Structure 1
Amino acid sequence: MKLYIKNMVCTRCKMVVKQELIKLGIHFSMVELGEVEIIENISCEQQNQLRVALLKAGLELMDDSKSVLIEQIKNVIIDLVHNSEEPLAIKFSEYLHQKLNHDYTYLANLFSEVQGTTIEQFLITHKIERVKELLVYDQINLTEIAYQMHYSSVAHLSTQFKKVTGLTPSHFKQLKNKKRVMLDAV
């Protein structure tokens, strides 16, 4: 049995979900961003207890299939941007289609309708947040960041960064108060 959870965006979220499942005696085989594979069926009482526990942690158990699909889109993007350094061998739209087994146009229209922004804008926002993170860490240069984040050039990255933040990457790096946004707030 699969359960879908909203706002799971990081490893800590996965740890919280695992802890709550263990506390409630719910056996699971897998906990990934946005979803949990439960070994056996759980009672309504257990499901309600899990719902309450997750809400306290800022997470939400989802029932609506459209909400589940939106979260899956977000999780694919977050995983791609924050956990993958390999460039895509195919277009992003095809990648999303293959991951979620839905037509990209359907996914794009649903996402825009529900989120009030496009999949592309959501992807760009996450890429820029990741670039900010890499700039703050100061372990790799802008050329390496552009490559790692799948930009065609440093100029493309810089243009998009300035369009989103109002700053150039070098100016952002010089700021003393480097403001970054938490992933679940993006």
Structure 2
Amino acid sequence: MVVEQELKKLGFYPEQVTLGEVTLKETDLTKEQQEKIDRALEAVGFERIDDRKARLIESIKNKIIERVHHVESIDRKFNWSDILADELHHDYNSLSNLFSSVEGITIEQYIIRQKIERVKELLFYDELNLSEIAQKLGYSSVAHLSSQFKKITGLTPSELKKSRKPRDVRNPIDSVTG
């Protein structure tokens, strides 16, 4: 509502305002108009992000998700900053600053959160032990994985695994009754 009100004050007509995105009736804004919008939004604690920046942030997230969730194993010597800079053709510091300013967390924190989600998934399927999970996700040790896991979730991996109640686990199909 605040963003919509600010845009209307400036004489713009938002067609749609959703969380993180505004569609204006006006297209091809002049640099001066963009600067007016930027100043008005900054005054109320918001920031305009152009499509190019939004696509770049989405690319950062996609590269991280791809590596954490869809690559068989992450080498411990794997350097995220080098990989992201190389694959996205931008200086890592600029990627990092953009990501932090828009997402409110660092790229490193985002990577850790993705890895913890992957750990939860692997724990749920119960196919790998904690040592194998740590190795698969590039942790230097089970202790390091456990400490990050507890910091993010409030539980150790073992506590999370034990906390799953029988009702949280699927019932065998032949035991389901009407």
Unaligned runs of 5+ in 2: 1-49, 169-178
Larger strand fraction of residues: 1
Deviation per residue, 1:124-172 (Å, 9 max, x gap) = 0000000000001001100000000110000100010011111010000
Give the alignment partner of residue 78 of structure 1, picking from 49, 65, 74: 65
The alpha carbon displacement at 1:90 in A equals 4.0
TM-score, normalised relative to structure 1:
0.60
Matched, 1:87 2:74: yes
| CA shift in 2, pair 1:90/1:137, >3 Å | closer
**C-alpha separation in 2, matches of 1:86 and 1:70:** 24
Divergent runs of 4+, >4 A: none
Which structure would you say has the larger RCO, counting Cα contacts within 8 Å and 6 or more residues apart? 1
**Mapping of 1:162-177 within 5 angstroms?**
162-176=150-164
TM-score (norm 2): 0.62
- Superposition map of 1:16-165 within 5 A: 64-88=51-75, 89-165=77-153
Q: Secondary structure at the match of 1:70?
A: helix
Aligned length: 116
Q: Which of the pair has more CA radius of gyration?
A: 2
What is the Cα-based RMSD across aligned positions, in Å? 1.4
* AA in 1 matched with 2:90: H
- Runs (5+) with no aligned partner, structure 1: 1-62, 179-186
